[in-house]
Amino acid sequence: DFVVTRAAARGRGEGNRRGASSSVCGKGRDPTPQQNAMSSEPPWACLPASHVSATLTSRGETLKIDDPMKKFYRMGRHQEMVDIHVKCQTASRVHAILAHHKDGGLYIFDLQSANGTFIDGIRVPPKKETRLRPGSKLRFGEADSPEYTVQIEDKRVDAKQGMLASLGGYGDAEEEEEEEK
């Protein structure tokens, strides 16, 4: 249902003589304003926090979103123009941006797609960053399109829970004593 592509390495990187416009539009034409908007970094995007990782799961396939040097991922059905290829005909060529936010969250940003982006069945407003929550169901286009389950892991929370478990519930015993008094 989705594939990570290497679009950034095939024409958007430095040192390519053709430049970004030819890889975005093809045939060396200048990009349209909409294509420029699709290829630009959201101003609120930042590198992911070192303690956060995310995965997208659909129909048994899992994709980790954990590149520490990548602020955002373009998602859509046009394999040459996106970082995450969505195998769905109701997805736009470049449908949405999945990005790390400076508040530490993971957000989806619909690029005014024809068929919309949905979180848990609710259409997200175009051109507005919308926070994804753990367990959210993400869909591009019509109701029969594949759903992507979003899992967000905070390694700090996992580490704290593991430490408390190794203490044998030490924190729980203190709370019980306080309640008895």
Q: What is the largest CA-CA distance in the chain?
A: 77
Q: Mean pLDDT check: name the lowest of 48-52, 78-82, 93-97, 160-164.
A: 160-164
Give the model's pLDDT for residue 154. 76
**Does the pLDDT value for residue 39 go beyond 80?**
no
Name the β-bridge partners of 98.
Answer: 73, 108
Summarised one tens digit per residue, pLDDT across range 101-155 is: 988 889 999 999 999 999 999 999 999 999 999 999 999 998 888 899 999 887 7
More confident residue, 162 or 29: 162
Q: What is the mean pLDDT of residues 46-61?
A: 86
Give the model's pLDDT for residue 163. 63
Output the six-digit token pair for 154.
């905070």
| Pairing mode of beta strands 137-140, 52-58 | unpaired
pLDDT band per the 50, 70, 90 thresholds, residue 159 = low
Report the alpha-carbon distance of residue 59 to residue 2 in Å, rounded: 10
Closest CA to 24 of 71, 69, 78: 78
Give the model's pLDDT for residue 22. 26
Output the six-digit token pair for 109.
């940003």
∠ CA 146-42-25, nearest 5°, is 70
Average pLDDT, the chain: 75
Give the model's pLDDT for residue 180. 55
More confident residue, 7 or 88: 88
